[in-house]
Every structure is written in structure tokens, then in C-alpha cells.
């Protein structure tokens, strides 16, 4: 019996090509963000995700505006306007919010509902 480590054939193929695996679903704000490796002493390493910068709101095309009412939640708004509650972060990005909860704290606030970053199209 051999003690050698067997390499997964798919991983071996990916390692030989420019294709990259991603740890995140395509709907994640972290999709496509590269990883880095920090080499430590004694041959150990730590893999970490590179920093994600919030894009400027000007890079998003406005679809419509939502006026916050008491009880609004970002996941519900994302489900209503974007079709997926896990896309709440797109509303955060479009409104330059570092803290998601700040967007729905005050009734009457206007929220920008936009297309994904860099996508253009006709407004509703």
C-alpha cells in the first residue's frame, strides 16, 4: 500500500490551466475575489481572501428607488426587487453602506435599487 497522496484529477487539471476555483457562489459579494497565501514558519501557510472594496455608487445603473417604511428588511427588499434575498449586499453597495442595518433604520430614506455593477440596460 502506498502512502503517497493522490491528487484529485479535477484539481490536477485546474492546477495546470488558468481556470480558478472559487469558494463563493456567483451571487456572493466575494465571488471572483482572489485569495493570497501567507507562508509561515515550519512549512505552514494561511490562505486568505483579498480585500473587497465597495465600488462607487456611480458604477451602478439605477432601476428604481424604494422609500423605506418601518419594518423594512434588506433581505425582503432584495427578494422583492432583485428576486433573491441573498443579494441584499447589492442594495448596500448601490447605497454606499458599510453597515447594512443603517439602510433601514430611518423610515423615509430613499434606497437606490440598481443593476449589478458594470451592467447597463433600460430602466424600469
Instruction: Provide the residue ranges of all domains of the chain, joining segments of one domain with +.
Output: 21-52, 57-114
pLDDT, residue 16, reads 57
CA distance 88 to 73: 9
Contact indicator for 99, 79 with CB cutoff of 8 Å: no
pTM, to two decimals: 0.70
Cα 106 → chain centroid: 25
Q: Could you tell me the fold of the domain covering 57-114?
A: Membrane-bound Lytic Murein Transglycosylase D; Chain A (3.10.350)
Q: Where are the beta strands (DSSP E) in the chain?
A: 35-39, 45-49, 62-67, 110-114
Estimate the share of the chain in helix, then strand, then coil, as percent rounded to the nearest 5: 30, 15, 50
| Whether residue 63 has pLDDT greater than 90 | yes
pLDDT, residue 3, reads 46
- What confidence tens digit (pLDDT) does each residue in 11-60 have? 555 555 554 556 788 888 888 888 889 999 888 899 888 988 888 888 89
CA distance 88 to 81: 10
Report which secondary-structure segment, H or E, holds 78: helix 74-82
Least confident of 49-58, 62-71, 90-99, 108-117: 49-58
Amino acid at each position: 500500500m502506498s502512502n503517497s497522496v493522490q491528487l484529485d484529477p479535477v484539481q490536477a487539471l485546474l492546477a495546470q490551466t488558468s481556470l480558478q476555483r472559487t469558494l463563493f457562489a456567483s451571487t456572493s459579494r466575494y465571488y471572483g475575489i482572489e485569495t493570497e497565501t501567507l507562508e509561515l514558519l515550519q512549512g505552514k501557510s494561511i490562505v486568505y481572501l483579498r480585500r473587497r472594496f465597495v465600488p462607487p455608487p456611480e458604477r451602478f445603473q439605477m432601476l428604481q428607488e424604494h422609500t423605506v417604511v418601518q419594518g423594512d428588511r434588506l433581505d425582503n427588499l432584495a427578494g422583492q426587487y432583485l428576486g433573491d434575498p441573498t443579494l441584499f449586499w447589492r442594495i448596500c453597495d448601490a447605497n454606499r453602506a458599510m453597515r447594512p442595518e443603517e439602510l433601514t433604520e430611518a423610515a423615509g430614506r430613499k434606497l437606490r435599487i440598481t443593476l449589478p455593477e458594470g451592467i447597463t440596460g433600460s430602466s424600469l
